[in-house]
Amino acid sequence: MTTPDTAALDLTPAPGAAPFPRMVLAQAGAEVRATLRNGEQLLLTLVIPVLLLAGFTLAPLIDVGGGSRVAFLAPGVLALAVMSTAFTGQAIATGFERRYGVLKRLGATPLSRAGLMLAKTAAVLAVELLQVVVVVAVGLALGWRPHGSFAAAALLIVLGTAAFSGLGLLMAGTLRAEATLAAANLVYLVLLGAGGVMFPLSKLPESVRPALEVLPISALTGGLRTVLSGGALPLGALGVLAAWAVLCLALASRTFRWE
């Protein structure tokens, strides 16, 4: 198996960690590649949001409570896209990484846990950027004319990402991988139905509305809808997302089991 021309591998010890940014970038790149190569993940992050946006814009199946259907749907689908990557995709991927001993193995490299978490965050944001570009392009093609503060929309998306990542990592770090897979998909469906993504919360019974309004998906959907139609940044939505982010990330960092 050893051939003469390769026998001269210099094994002399020359230990040293790569610069921190290079490690984080390498890991983030690997995570993005893994996401884009995974068929089910792509279905969740791109295909479903685009189909929902195009399908329900073109077919008058839902009552959006007056106004342009695409103007109602596009912000909701953006929020859904953020949730699918930051929460569902990340929870499932991290759960299985834990199960396969990948997190353990990475723990034996110079990439620190903080570095790994930073890489995961960077990978999630990169995939989200791609999703936003695709969803916005499809929305514009369907006649969506967003107006308002894009910086406010970006802030909401970043906070939403933090909240959903916290929730996803909380699950991935404590449940078995199979349980995470099931629970992450279930939560995705429930939040898709109950979070004001496809139809306004005002269509739901008065009694459940206060509970639904504090869901992170409702806050993100409602917030994006407001700021992308010229409204001011809603502090309530911001507060809800910030509270979820702080609570879930703190809990996740306390309970996360790497093995």
Partner 1 sequence: MAMDSPAVEIIGLVKRYGCTTAVDGLSMRAARGAVTAVLGPNGAGKTSTVEICEGFREADEGTVRVLGLPPAAPALRPRVGVMLQSGGVPPATRCGEWLRLVSRFYARPLDVDALLVRLGLAAHARTPYRRLSGGQQQRLSLAAAVVGRPELVFLDEPTAGLDPQARHACWDLVTDLRAAGVAVLLTTHHMDEAERLADHVVIIDGGRVVSEGSPAALTGAERQLRFRARPGLALEELLNALPSGSAAKESPAGHYIVEGLVGPELLATVTAWCAAEGVTADDLRIERRTLEDVFLELTGRELR
Interface with partner 1 by CB under 8 A: which residues? 1-3, 6-7, 9-18, 22-23, 26-27, 30, 33-34, 37-38, 96-97, 100-102, 104-105, 107-112, 259
Tokens coding 58 = 């073109």
Q: Rounded to an integer, what distance in angstroms lies between the CA atom of residue 43 and that of residue 49? A: 9
Residue 78 · residue 156 · CB < 8 Å: no
CB of 5 vs partner 1, minimal distance in Å: 8
- Residue whose CB is less far from partner 1, 199 or 256: 256
- Residue whose CB is less far from partner 1, 14 or 59: 14
- Residue whose CB is less far from partner 1, 206 or 259: 259
- Residue whose CB is less far from partner 1, 96 or 199: 96
Q: What angle is formed at CA 170 by the lines to CA 212 and CA 154, rounded to 5 degrees?
A: 60
Nearest in space to 142 (alpha carbons), one of 84, 68, 66: 68
Tokens coding 253 = 């960092």
Burial (0-12, 13-18, 19+ Cβ within 10 Å), 12: exposed
- Residue whose CB is less far from partner 1, 101 or 193: 101
In this structure, what are the phi and psi dihedrals at residue 199, rounded to the nearest 5 degrees?
-145, 150
CB of 187 vs partner 1, minimal distance in Å: 23
